[in-house]
Each structure stands twice: as C-alpha cells, then as structure tokens.
Structure 1
Amino acid sequence: MRDLKYCLLTACLLASVAVMADEGMWMLGNLDKKTTHMLKEMGFELKPKELYSPRKASLKDAVVSFGGFCSGVVVSEDGLVLTNHHCGFSSVQQHSSVDHDYLQDGFVARTRDEELPNPELYVRFLLRQENVTKRVLSAVRPDMDESARASAVDSVMLAVGAEVSQKDSTLTGVVDAYYGGNEFWLSVYQDFNDVRLVFAPPSSVGKFGWDKDNWMWPRHTGDFCVFRIYAGRGNRPADYSPDNVPYHPRYVAPISLEGYQEGDFCMTLGYPGSTERYLSSFGIEEAMNGINQAQIDIRGVKQAIWKRAMDASDDIRIKYASKYDESSNYWKNSIGTNRSLRRLNVLERKRTLERDLQDWIRRTPAERDSLLHLLTDLELAYKDRRAVNRAQAYLLESFLNGPELVQLALSILNFDFGADPKVVEVSLQGIVDKYANLDLDVDKDVFTALLKEYPRHVEVDYLPSLYDSIATVYGGSERAYVDSLYARTAIATPRGLKRFLENDTTLHLFSDPAINLGIDLITQLFEMNMQMNAANLAVDRGERLFNAAVRRYYADRRFYPDANSTMRLSFGTVRGYDPADGTHYRYFTTVRGILEKAREHRSEPDFALQPELVSLLESGDYGRYADRSGEMKVCFISDNDITGGNSGSAMFNARGQLLGLAFDGNWEAMSSDYLYEPRLQRCIGVDIRYVLFIIEKYGQAGRLIEELKIG
C-alpha cells in the first residue's frame, strides 16, 4: 500500500494521501532497482552508471560539498564552481572593506591573477561509497550497554576511515551512521583546499529581499556566486600557492538554456545537512521546545542589536554581515519549523504511527519479547532530561553562541599548539578573523541584553555563577558587570592574543576574567551533560531500536536514510502549489517581479537596486538567456526533497543538464526536516539563465561564459 510507505518516509500516518515519487534523499552508492526504475518512469534519460560510478567519470563527479556547509557544481574544464551567494557570503565579506565593498557592489575578477584566495574554504569530491555495516557491527556484543556499544562502533568507524588516507594521503575516508545507527557506509573523498573567489553579484541581486523574503515564495533572488578550484602538480590537491593552476575535473556539468515547463523532470544532487524523518514524537517535541525555541528567543534579541548597529555604520555592516546572515537564517528557520509542525499536526500524526507500531509489537511474539516497553521507555527517557535539555539549549544560545568575547575566550582555551601545523594555522586565522570583525561596544550591548534574557526562560537552578556576582558585586546591574569584564580582560583586543601566542610571562591566562568565565560556562555545560548522561544513552538506544522496528514493520517498503551531510539524490517535477484556499503560486518568477518589489519597498534598503541594474532589467535585452516567451525567468520551484546543506545543489533536467541552483525552501513547509509534505514542500532554485545573464551583461565577465559547456 502506497499510503503506508508515505507514512513511514514522512514519519506520519496519512491514509488519505498517496506517496509521491519525488520524496526521498537517496544515496547514490545504494540506489536499488525500484528507485532507478522510478527515475526512468519519471523521464530521467541517463543510465545509472552515468549518474554514479566509482571508477568512471559520472555526473556525481561534477557535484561538490562546498566548505562542508553547502553544495556546489563544477561547470568548466578549468574548475569553475557555482554555489549560492549566501554560501560564499563569508568569503565575500572577508575581502570587503569600506573602500572595496564587494558585499554591496559585487566582485569581478577580470583575470585569473585577480581571483581571490580563501584559506578557510575547501571543496570535497565524492569518489565512492561502500557498505561497511558488517565490519562496524562486528565489534558489538549482545551484553554491551549503549555506552560500550557506542565506543566500540566509534572506534571501528574511525579505523575504517583512517585506512583510506593511510593508502593515499590525498584522500579522506569518512564512515557515517544511517538509519539511527543501524547501518554504516564508508564515503571516500578528495578535498581541494585552494578555492578562489571569481565572481559575486551585488547584494541587490544575490541577497535581494534579505530577511523579509528568506524562506518565502515567490522569490526573486539571484542567489549565486562563482569560485575556482586550483590544484598543484599532476592536478592533485595542494594548499594555496601562487604557482597552483586551475583544476581539471573528471566531469563538467553541461548547461541547458532550454528552460523548463510545469511537470518537467527535475533532479537535485548535493549534500543535505540533517533531517529527522524517523525521529519519535518525543524527540520532535523536545526540539520544538528546546533548541528551536531557544534560537527564536535569543537570536531575535541579538540580531536586533546587530541590525541597529549595522544600519548606523558601514564599517559595522561589513564586519557583521556574514554573522548576521548566518544567525538570522537559522532564526527564521526555527520560527517557520515550529509554526509548520503545529499547523500540519505533525506530532499528532506521528503519535498515530507510534500507536499502530505498538499494536504490531503486541501482536508479534518475536517483537513483543524485546520491545513491549520500547515507546514507554523512550518517552520516560526524554522526560528525564527535559528541563536540563531546554536549559542547555538556552545556555548555548545565550552565552557560548552569544557574546563574541566568550567565543574568543573559548577559542583561546581550546587552542592546540601541538596540532598539525595546518590545523594550527587555520585555528589561528579563525581567532584573528573574530577580532577583525568585532566591535566591542556592539558586543557589550549584546552581552548585557542576553544576560537579561536568559533568566526569563530557565529555572533558577540553571543560572551560571556570574549571576551571583551581578547580584552581590554589581548591585544587580548587568551592564556594570559587562563594562567591568571588558575593562579587566586582556583578550578583548588583538594585543592580548599576541601576548598569549608569544607566551608572555606577564599574561596570567587563568586569572583573566573572560577566560575564567569561559571555564565556568564550559564546566556548567559539562555538568548538564552529566546530569543527562543516563537519559541520553536511553534516548540513543530507544531511537535506534524504534527506527529498526519501523523498518521491520514495513519490511516490503523502500527506505531512504535521513540526511547526514553525505551526497544525496532527490528527484521530482517542476510545479507550483496552492499555499491556501483560493491562492495559487505558479512555478516561476521573472524580472518583472524584481522591479515591482523594488517599487513597492522603495524605502527599504533590502530591496534597493542600482540604477544601472534597473536599466538593464527594464531594457528587455536578455539575448539567448530569455525564455521562449521572451521573458527573463529568475527563480523556479520543484517538489524536490531538500534541507539545509542543499544550498548550492545542482538542479538538473532529464538529460543531466544544469537548470539552476537550489537555494531555499518555502515557508509553508518549514517542518520538512521532520515531514515531507508533497502538497506544499518546494525547492526554490535560481534559474541558470539568470545567473549567466548577470555574469555576462551586468558583470561584463564574458570570459567566464566562454569556459562553460552550454547546450
């Protein structure tokens, strides 16, 4: 029954809705015949070995993990990589200044010598995948408790991965857990660390609409950025060097200018970060009330302070642009996720599935003997850690992910002089960048506000000891405490870092108040983890057994594993949707919508356009990038299954030609990490023709267009 398959894959019971063929995040190394047949039935024209092959060049060789947090696609024989503007935003920000404001004005490298290096960036190519479940689980004995089991599994996973780099130092082996820790697969990667910025559109294109339009459809954002991969001798990975040359990839993604129509096949390849489709209702409820709500409450306060300061100063705007962008993205995501989980009744539907599973366990002797109390025990485990888990979420957001002075203290405390020289260099650069993008007055305002906000959400038992000092030493004034802290610490400025790195004997690091604060917070975090230790182990065990039981319950069904930052395939069709009664959204937007939004929001800088961009868009001179109707399409939507990390994923047509870049999901289906809702969930992509139009016509970078393989 297709209804039952949909229940499982979306972690819900929806007897009235048939499963859609486009649901799923499928592993390329584990595509079964049913899935490949479904691909063909939906119109995909490539053979399976042309999509994935561990030995010969295939489409997967054009897709990369970009920096470990986004996806990208290789589009030229000289290593050009397309990803999203918001994925490259931090790199653009690092190269920007008031005099060279690449965030606002965009960036174009007119020659390869002008392409800008980014030491913190890398791209990762998947070479092959291998099922190593039997080997990993061979270390597990029946008498092991969950802690011992986890240790045994982890040790084998690390050993299997390490064998790859021992055979070839340019390769990285990573073993990941799937299906709640019931299966294990080895992925073999090759990383390239010399990645240079080539082209970035102005924010009026790449961030058009900013927070207001984020996660929304209709969308008019040209969310793309161009980088180039460089290699050393023999086309092999190498650290940055001016002597490196453009990398020549195994496979280059061809580009289509034909566009798409509603109902056309559409496929994404990328590295989705994390989903929880098989999580119990208890786990979903914990996430809603814990980390999601903490991000909503705390980041909202922090971002409001940042935004006021950014609007008042170009220098602060550039310093805080990337931090604000990242923070606000997850803040709005948490708001939308909790809203959708409630509106779509996800908890109630999940509980229905769990009641059915419990009935099956009672009726099945082999299951009843070992799993009769599975769901009851799982519920109790979550209940046992509820208060501490919520307090920990607020502690992390308020302090360890809040004031940047605390983050600096933690970075210095964790600095390892004995690490690999490359790691030391990267860690040091990370600390230096924090100082470069820090404004002490802004950080004081944030710290003061968060000190006031944290106690509003947690029980008094979970207040850090600094609150005692505020009450007894500073007369209850959070601001007085903050001012004193920043005045007394040596690490508020780069001079303190310099003394630390030079082993200055006059710097008594563990007497520094900011360092002591960092230690106190880490200690409290550790104590919280210890309080939850037994419950955590019970939750891990219960979720693993729950996942396995559901798969046995639907033994004749196909299962895709939750996303875990490994390469995944998703396929579906280009199509619009109905977000509400009487409302229909079509499947594409055009430049006309950009101009309309700019006029409607003319007083808002987030929708402002440069005069030359307005002239270009109004001219109608779109050349070969115009749709067959003569329009310039900007964005489009499909029902592909995506999540965070898919940003920058290649969107291909049935012939494996590039149609665009995925960059967002839609507001009505923000619960998609827990539930795939076929009526509502859409993947938002930027049309490749708009990307090329901006590069060639606005950026005047025809040399880049000449590199591409355009069909």
Structure 2
Amino acid sequence: MKLKYILIVACSLFTLTGRADEGMWMLGNLNKQTRKAMKELGLQMPADKLYNPKKPSLKDAVVSFGGFCSGVVVSEDGLVFTNHHCGFSSVQQHSSVEHDYLKNGFVAHSRAEELPNPELYVRFLLRTEDVTKRVLGAVKPSMSEMERSSAVDSMMMVIGGEVSLKDSTLLGVVDAYYGGNEFWLSVYRDFNDVRLVFAPPSSVGKFGWDTDNWIWPRHTGDFCVFRIYADRKNRPADYSPDNVPYHPEYVAPISLDGYKEGSFCMTIGYPGSTERYLSSFGIEEMMNNSNQAQIDIRGVKQAIWKREMDSKDSIRIKYASKYDESSNYWKNSIGVNRAIRKLGILDKKREMEQEIRRWIQQNPEEREKLLQLFTDLELNYKNRREVNRAQAYFIESFLYGPELVQLALKILNFDFEGEQKAVIAGLKDIVEQYSNLDLDIDKEVFTALLKEYRSKVDTTFLPEIYHTIAQKYDGNEKAFVDSLYASSELTTPRGLKRFLERDTTYQIFDDPAISLGIDMLTMLFDMNMQTQAPTTEIIRGERLLNGAIRRMYASRNFYPDANSTMRLSFGTVCGYTPFDGAEYDYYTTTKGVLEKVKAHVGDVDFAVQPELVSLLSSRNFGRYADEKGEMKVCFISNNDITGGNSGSAMFNSKGELLGLAFDGNWEAMSSDILYEPKMQRTIGVDVRYILFMIEKYGKAGNLIKELNIIN
C-alpha cells in the first residue's frame, strides 16, 4: 500500500513540476525540450521513429477514422483497430431485427464476409510543413479584421490546392494554430474502401452505456475492427469487389506485456478541438449558452428517443447511432459545466488574465498595442450575449432537433449539379436518414422542442411559426406539428423522388417543410448578422490574447490547441484521488464486469449475454492474462486527449500498442479549457482484452494470426 501511494504521489509531483503529461504536441514539430521530457519519462524510441516524412515511422500506423475519430493499423493486410463507438453507425447501418449486429456483434470469418461502408474513409498523414510566412504574407497592416480573414482563408486554400494539382491521390489542408498566429500544411492520402470486420456485442462495446459514460472505474470493451482496401497497385480506390487489402507503410506491433503504475504511455491520434487559450469571457459564454443549450434541449429529445428505443427493437436499431452521438456530448456538456464550477476554472483564468494585464501595463510596446484588449473582449462578448444564447438554443431545437426540418434543409441545400460521386453519396445519405426515421417519434420531439425553446428564450427570438401556432392553432403546438407532417411530401422520400423526376404537379418550394426550413435559415442568418460585428472583434481579441500569452511566458514550452490534426500526448499510467478519502486504481478487470452485471440486474445498460458471463467467469484467459492471472479490461494514464482522440493508439515506450483511448474522466471534464494535472485521465481499453474478445468470444483466430504480437 505504501509503495502504491508513493507512486501516485510521484506521478502527481512530476505533473506539477515537469508537466510533461500536458500538451497535444505536433509530431512534425517536436522541439528539444519536448523530446528531452519524453526521454526522461521513459521513451525508448528516437524522434525520427515517431515521425519521418521520408521513411516509415510510427505516425504511418495512425489514421484519422472518418474524420471524427482515430484508429491504428495493426496488420500487413490493412486491419484497423478503432473504438466501438466510432464504428457504431456502420454497425447500425448493417443491422436489422433479423441480423442485430448491435446486440449480438459481428464477425467476418473470411474477406468475402467483410461489409463495405461507402460513407467511411481513413486518412493517413504523409507530412506537415510550416507555411506561416506565406499565409501571413497576404496580410497587410491596413486591413480590417474581415479583410485579414478573407486574405488568410484564400491563401490557405491556394496552398492546400497545390498539393492535389501535383498528385491527385493527395489532399493538402492548411490549418490555423495558436489562434491564427501560425499556419501549417498537412498532406494526406485518403482511402475510401473501408469494410467492417469485427464488432463485439454492445454489451461489451457499450457496457455501462450512459450510466458509465465519462466515468472511472470503467469496464467497457470499446473497440471495433475494420479493414482498408485499395486497388491492385495499393492506391486509393472507391469500393469495388476487385479491390484488395491495403498494405500499409508501417504496422503497429502489439504488446502483451501490459503496464504498471508509472509506465510510460503515449497517445497518437486526431484530437478535435480545445480552447486552452480562451479568455474567461469566452468560457463563461460557452457554459451559459452552447453547453446549457445542449443540456436542456438534448435532454428533452433523448428522453423521448430512449423511451421508444427501450420498448421496441426496430426503433432501438433505427435510433441507436443518433442517440449515441447526441447523448455523448449532452453528458459531456453536463460534466464540463460541473467541472468548471467545481474546479474554479473561471477564477483561475481571471487570475491569469490579471497577470497579463499587469505585464501589458509594465511593457510599453505591449501597452501601446494591447491596452484595451480585455476591455474590448468583455464589451464584445457582452454585446453578443443574448443573441448568441438564443442562437445556441435555436440550433439545438430546430437544426439538430426534428429530422423533418433536417431533411428539408439537406434537400434545400443539395448541390444537384455537383460531381456525380458526391451527388450519389449525398442522395444515399438522405435515403439512409429516411430509413432510420419514425414519424410519430419525430412529431413528438418537434412538439416538445417547440415548447422547450419558447421557455428558454426571449420572445424577440421566436420564429414566425410561433405566431402561426398562436393565430391558426390556438397555441396548440401538437396541432401545428400534426398539420405540418400531414401536408408535407417530405415526410417520406416520395417528395424528393417527385422533385428529381421533375413532377410538374409538385412544386418543392411550396412544400410546408421547405418553407419552414427557409424561415429557419432566414432567422439564423439574421442572428448571425446581429452578432457579426462583435464576433469579428472577438476573433481578433482572442488571437491577440493568444499571442500575448506566448510572449509573456516565452520560456514555457507551448503547444497549440487541438484542431483535428495529428497530435501526440505523453505521460504515465497512474491512478488518482478524485476526492478526499477515495483512491482510484489505474486498471480494472473482468471481475468488475461481473460485479456490475450482478449489481444492476434488470438495467439494460449492464445487461450481458449469458455466454459472455460464462466465458468471463471461467477465467480461461490464456496468454492474455496478466501476471496475476487476471484479465485487465481498461486502464488510465495522464495523457492529454479530447474528442476526436477516440480510437487513438496508446503506445508503450517502445512504440508497441497497449490499447485504445476512448474516454476521459468525469472529475476533469473541463480539460478542453484547462488541463488539471491531479485529475485528468485518459481511459483506454486494454489491447489484451480486445484480442481475448476477438479470439475467445468471436472465434476469429484468423484475425489474430494477422497481427504482429510481441510476447
């Protein structure tokens, strides 16, 4: 016990002094300070084995999965490990009441059984390049903020476009870093033929569901397996039965050695976005507006969905993916607001801003440029506060709410004259949404959200439909919704079909759902215009603040906010103390799965198939057991991650795969704004549990044989 306590304290002390665990570092821009910190912490690989644009390196095994998650290549034939929740929509699309892959899982025992996913792609990073001078070369001192933004955007597009002109298989993307003070080009290659190979049942991949989401201790086997296909020359190709498995530049080796308290651990993936440099005014706005809108509106919508999903399997399958996506960020918003208050994040930010104010006052050069920085930021956030709040509720209530409105807007904005491939993919997406739509549920959601929106905003921000409801339907929202759905042709694909076939008896712009969609877009445009001036000044102020922070603390080792580009974070495997009197260990085992099943009898979030209970109870773990004969399920490290990192590879000091990152912990939900070294933890699923489930539960030994397993 004493040794364990010493290790936890040591982990915390290292965080407070070296802070090597904080940061989402660019692999192509690792400075000496960062490389030294990694080596001191235990890394046994040279930097050019992590990232090398000219030779195969570890970064070549890491992919952006669909643009919303991460993944890792683990076989010479293109197998990719990612999270179950990242592959959830693909599993759902292939599921039916007869073939319920969500409930029972899916196993392809041969290549012929692997299932295509036309909407899915994986993206490999080839190289990065600093293009700051070239981008900012287009900026003139006399430009306004809007002119500056336009010039920067144009140059970013030009630089990115040059990559594809030289090689049509490549994609160039220029991203802004440090609030728009730096710009880097990333060169990618995308593969569009990605097939589902293995998915555990949701009782494994989603074990704990909403109850355990963002919570440690965790016992979720959050993994899924896909395969990348290419043409016979190993080049990107759209789906074809003639395609063959892709042979990658680099394959991640897999370790069965596991980890101990204090073991080095690094995570490589594609984190979405963080706001570590955001002002206290911006954080306050985020809490009260966008976060609170998600909490209030999604809570209403999801309660209706969940009730119907629990009552009928066909509805569960239709709504599983969209419920999962919606509820994930709903609970995230609850946790973020809670953590901001509990950890005093706003007070910490304001204290730092007071230091910057004093520094500005004490430095003539800075005082001349930034004397009004915080005054202007405060004023501009105040000037857009009410409209911004209403806009957040408006978007959640109507643009992300009733699916009839979503479909009307998709059709309204559809580019029917676009490239054939894009048109076909877009139409398939619309048809897919129709196939997963239940009109009675959607009507109930629409009615409930009309009431909820009105209760949350000032009457100034009510769209025209509320006047119609009051005048024509005596204030009865349900009557309005029933009438809308009864009179619109867009409640089924029939209206779209009539429009595409140029049916002269159907004018799509006269359809009430389209008319409603146009009204919604018009109001959203009006809201944007009302906030345009303060928003432009806020962008400028936040960029200037970002630059000032880096100048004031010039001796510190800064990293840029996450922006969906490849990043590395590193630290150690270690537990933590969430509150006084409690101590969390750094791993969980299958014993905890069985305990939760027994403790939550009748709770669908913890329901597990009898055959899985029997398998885990047998303790026949084979070579996947740890040194005590236990099967570890999940583990935690103090790596720095955020949304988009789901599915990210978690490597040991030798670059061998330990597991997949899939979540953060409830006590540090404010981590996108401020890293909390004592609290923040990355939750990963142990690769040995993944392999055990594939081999012993899925009986897919053929997949195990493909892997480079290091004993």
Which residue number in structure 1 is paired with residue 450 of structure 2?
Answer: 451
Which residue number in structure 1 is paired with residue 40 of structure 2?
Answer: 41
Which residue number in structure 1 is paired with residue 203 of structure 2?
Answer: 204
Which residue number in structure 1 is paired with residue 491 of structure 2?
Answer: 492
Which residue number in structure 2 is paired with residue 368 of structure 1?
Answer: 367
Which residue number in structure 1 is paired with residue 428 of structure 2?
Answer: 429
Corresponding letter in the other structure for 2:146: S
Give the 3-state SS of the residue equivalent to 1:577 in structure 2: coil
Deviation at 1:233, TM superposition (A): 2.8
Give the 3-state SS of the residue equivalent to 1:602 in structure 2: coil
Which residue number in structure 1 is paired with residue 251 of structure 2?
Answer: 252
Deviation at 1:503, TM superposition (A): 2.1
Distance 2:428 2:345 in 1: 43
Which residue number in structure 2 is paired with residue 153 of structure 1?
Answer: 152
Which residue number in structure 2 is paired with residue 172 of structure 1?
Answer: 171
Q: Give the structure-1-normalised TM-score.
A: 0.97
Distance 1:302 1:630 in 2: 45
Which residue number in structure 2 is paired with residue 609 of structure 1?
Answer: 608
Give the 3-state SS of the residue equivalent to 1:26 in structure 2: coil
Corresponding letter in the other structure for 2:118: P
Give the 3-state SS of the residue equivalent to 2:179 in structure 1: coil
Deviation at 1:18, TM superposition (A): 3.7
Unaligned runs of 5+ in 1: 1-13
Which residue number in structure 2 is paired with residue 9 of structure 1?
Answer: none
Contact map agreement 2:499 2:507 (CA 8 A) in 1 = no
Contact map agreement 2:79 2:225 (CA 8 A) in 1 = yes
Distance 1:502 1:188 in 2: 41
Instruction: Spell out the pairing of 1:667-678 with structure 2 (5 A cutoff).
Output: 667-678=666-677
Give the 3-state SS of the residue equivalent to 1:233 in structure 2: coil
Distance 2:280 2:170 in 1: 39
Percent identity, aligned pairs only? 72
> Which deviates further from its counterpart, 639-648 or 491-500?
491-500
Corresponding letter in the other structure for 2:65: F
Q: 1:314 aligned to 2:313?
A: yes
Corresponding letter in the other structure for 2:474: G
Deviation at 1:19, TM superposition (A): 4.9
Give the 3-state SS of the residue equivalent to 2:95 in structure 1: coil
Corresponding pairs, count: 697
Corresponding letter in the other structure for 1:74: V
Distance 1:653 1:646 in 2: 17
Which residue number in structure 2 is paired with residue 534 of structure 1?
Answer: 533
Which residue number in structure 2 is paired with residue 630 of structure 1?
Answer: 629
Which residue number in structure 2 is paired with residue 3 of structure 1?
Answer: none
Corresponding letter in the other structure for 1:595: L
Contact map agreement 2:16 2:677 (CA 8 A) in 1 = no
Corresponding letter in the other structure for 1:155: S
Give the 3-state SS of the residue equivalent to 1:184 in structure 2: strand
Which residue number in structure 2 is paired with residue 113 of structure 1?
Answer: 112
Which residue number in structure 1 is paired with residue 329 of structure 2?
Answer: 330
Distance 2:80 2:497 in 1: 37
Distance 2:18 2:385 in 1: 34
Q: 1:520 aligned to 2:516?
A: no
Give the 3-state SS of the residue equivalent to 2:578 in structure 1: strand
Corresponding letter in the other structure for 2:689: Y
Corresponding letter in the other structure for 1:709: N
Over aligned residues, Cα RMSD in angstroms?
A: 0.9
1:620-670: per-residue Cα shift (whole Å, max 9, x none)?
A: 100000001100000000000000000000000000000000000000000
Distance 2:301 2:18 in 1: 41
Which residue number in structure 2 is paired with residue 652 of structure 1?
Answer: 651
Distance 1:116 1:412 in 2: 28
Contact map agreement 2:275 2:673 (CA 8 A) in 1 = yes
Which residue number in structure 1 is paired with residue 232 of structure 2?
Answer: 233
1:114-164: per-residue Cα shift (whole Å, max 9, x none)?
A: 000001100000000000000000000001010000000000000000000
Which residue number in structure 2 is paired with residue 351 of structure 1?
Answer: 350
Distance 2:272 2:632 in 1: 28
Distance 1:190 1:248 in 2: 14
Distance 1:47 1:541 in 2: 39
Distance 2:171 2:637 in 1: 33
Give the 3-state SS of the residue equivalent to 1:385 in structure 2: helix
Deviation at 1:17, TM superposition (A): 4.8
Distance 1:428 1:44 in 2: 48
Which residue number in structure 2 is paired with residue 55 of structure 1?
Answer: 54
1:661-696: per-residue Cα shift (whole Å, max 9, x none)?
A: 000000000000001101000000000000000000
Distance 2:408 2:416 in 1: 16
- Inter-CA distance 455–19: structure 2 relative to 1 (3 Å threshold): farther
Instruction: Spell out the pairing of 1:43-192 with structure 2 (5 A cutoff).
Output: 43-192=42-191
1:362-386: per-residue Cα shift (whole Å, max 9, x none)?
A: 1100011111011100110100000
1:29-61: per-residue Cα shift (whole Å, max 9, x none)?
A: 111011111111111011111000001000000
Distance 1:116 1:271 in 2: 25
Which residue number in structure 2 is paired with residue 550 of structure 1?
Answer: 549
Give the 3-state SS of the residue equivalent to 1:558 in structure 2: coil
Distance 2:317 2:149 in 1: 44
Distance 1:265 1:18 in 2: 17
Give the 3-state SS of the residue equivalent to 1:669 in structure 2: helix
Which residue number in structure 1 is paired with residue 692 of structure 2?
Answer: 693
Which residue number in structure 2 is paired with residue 472 of structure 1?
Answer: 471
> Which deviates further from its counterpart, 605-614 or 566-575?
605-614
Corresponding letter in the other structure for 1:496: G
Distance 1:341 1:167 in 2: 47
Distance 1:505 1:60 in 2: 55
Distance 1:166 1:233 in 2: 23
Contact map agreement 2:73 2:79 (CA 8 A) in 1 = yes
Distance 2:58 2:285 in 1: 39
Contact map agreement 2:647 2:660 (CA 8 A) in 1 = yes
Which residue number in structure 1 is paired with residue 4 of structure 2?
Answer: none
Contact map agreement 2:668 2:680 (CA 8 A) in 1 = yes
Distance 1:568 1:421 in 2: 34
Give the 3-state SS of the residue equivalent to 1:578 in structure 2: coil
Which residue number in structure 1 is paired with residue 10 of structure 2?
Answer: none
Which residue number in structure 2 is paired with residue 587 of structure 1?
Answer: 586
Give the 3-state SS of the residue equivalent to 1:180 in structure 2: helix
Corresponding letter in the other structure for 1:695: I
Give the 3-state SS of the residue equivalent to 2:146 in structure 1: helix
Instruction: Spell out the pairing of 1:568-583 with structure 2 (5 A cutoff).
Output: 568-583=567-582
Which residue number in structure 2 is paired with residue 560 of structure 1?
Answer: 559
Give the 3-state SS of the residue equivalent to 2:547 in structure 1: helix
Distance 1:408 1:370 in 2: 48
Distance 1:690 1:369 in 2: 59
Distance 1:257 1:19 in 2: 30
Distance 1:55 1:141 in 2: 36
> Which deviates further from its counterpart, 500-509 or 208-217?
500-509
Contact map agreement 2:297 2:393 (CA 8 A) in 1 = yes
Which residue number in structure 2 is paired with residue 5 of structure 1?
Answer: none
Instruction: Spell out the pairing of 1:501-520 with structure 2 (5 A cutoff).
Output: 501-520=500-519
Distance 2:411 2:503 in 1: 14
Q: Give the structure-2-normalised TM-score.
A: 0.97
1:532-566: per-residue Cα shift (whole Å, max 9, x none)?
A: 11001000000000100111101122110000000
Distance 2:668 2:500 in 1: 48
1:229-285: per-residue Cα shift (whole Å, max 9, x none)?
A: 000131000000000000000000000000000000000000000000000000000
Distance 2:420 2:641 in 1: 37
Corresponding letter in the other structure for 1:116: L
Distance 2:182 2:90 in 1: 36
Give the 3-state SS of the residue equivalent to 2:577 in structure 1: strand
Distance 2:255 2:505 in 1: 64
Which residue number in structure 2 is paired with residue 416 of structure 1?
Answer: 415
Q: Which runs of 4+ in 1 moved over 6 A?
A: none
Instruction: Spell out the pairing of 1:388-407 with structure 2 (5 A cutoff).
Output: 388-407=387-406
Distance 1:521 1:686 in 2: 43
